[in-house]
Amino acid sequence: MFKLNEIIRLVKKRKRVARGGSRGGQAGRGGKGQTARSGGSIKPGFEGGQMPLHRRLPKRGFNNKAFGVITKIINIADLERAFNQNDVVDSLVLHQKKIIKTNRNIVTRLKLLGDGLLTKKLHVIVDGCSAAARLAIEKVGGTITVQGKKE
């Protein structure tokens, strides 16, 4: 047997916004002012003309991306794998052979490290070089030029 208090209402009845005074002075539209008007909406974060919280709080930290210099690292083993005898190795050739990836907007330096074994004579032009890498290149008769060296 059905009881009225056990029946679940399947469809929620929509509240009818009154047109006259049957729901009080505001007719179910809240208080007066901007939100009571048709089309009246307030942007998120707006505080009625007061300086918003997201502008009152200080910015944190320092961002050096605009001035930073990224150093790309390559090893002797990378040169051994990608180049032949008496090749000239510089950043443009390394970029063309897709050994390094560079962004045109950011200044990139190229540093050579001595990890690996070199058996080919190469002519290398880089921005920085470790002592082990210099020794490995000169050992097989190659040359290394360090550009922009601060001395």
- Count of C-beta atoms within a 10 Å radius of residue 142: 20
pLDDT for position 149: 63
- Alpha-carbon distance of 57 to 125, in angstroms, equals 49
pLDDT for position 108: 84
Domain ranges in the chain are 70-146
The 143-146 sheet, strands edge to edge: 88-89, 123-126, 143-146
List the pLDDT tens digit at each of the 151 positions of the chain. Answer: 677 777 766 667 777 766 665 666 677 777 788 878 888 888 899 998 899 999 999 988 888 777 778 899 999 999 999 999 999 999 889 989 989 887 766 778 999 999 999 999 999 999 999 999 999 999 999 999 999 765 4
Burial of 43 (0-12, 13-18, 19+ CB in 10 A): exposed
pLDDT for position 148: 75
CATH number for the region 70-146 comes to 3.100.10.10
pTM exceeds 0.85, yes or no: no
